[in-house]
């Protein structure tokens, strides 16, 4: 999933969390964060810091990557 806004990130996090059958409070605990912050993140209503983003993604076993914009590559190992 390409992330170009806080909302993109929020949607990605929410989908991954639900796919893993976690509640916001569960994810918050795994990431050492608060449940309200997970809510704000998923709704894209906070401009999270990189540390926060990395904590949440790590808790979901996801990685952040940087790729060239023109290289629209299909990655079969996604999903």
| CA pair distance 13, 27, nearest whole angstrom | 10
Q: Which residues sit at the interface with DNA, rule CB under 7 A? A: 23-25, 32-40, 42-43, 45-49, 51-52
12 touches its own copies by CB under 8 A? yes
Nearer to its own copies, 6 or 24 (CB): 6
Nearest approach, Cβ of 28 to its own copies (angstroms)?
Answer: 18
Site for its own copies in 22-61 (CB under 8 A): 47-51, 53-54, 57-58, 61
8: left (phi over 0), alpha (psi -120 to 50) or beta: alpha
Task: Decide if 34 contacts 55 (C-beta within 8 A).
Answer: no
5 touches its own copies by CB under 8 A? yes
Task: Decide if 54 contacts 64 (C-beta within 8 A).
Answer: yes
């Amino acid at each position: 999933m390409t992330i170009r806004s806080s909302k993109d990130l929020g949607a990605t996090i929410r989908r991954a969390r639900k796919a893993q059958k976690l509640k916001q409070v569960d994810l918050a605990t795994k990431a050492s964060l608060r449940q309200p912050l997970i809510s704000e993140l998923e709704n894209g209503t906070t401009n999270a810091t990189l540390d926060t983003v990395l904590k949440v993604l790590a808790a979901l076993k996801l990685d952040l990557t940087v790729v060239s914009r023109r290289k629209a590559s299909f990655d079969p190992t996604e999903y």
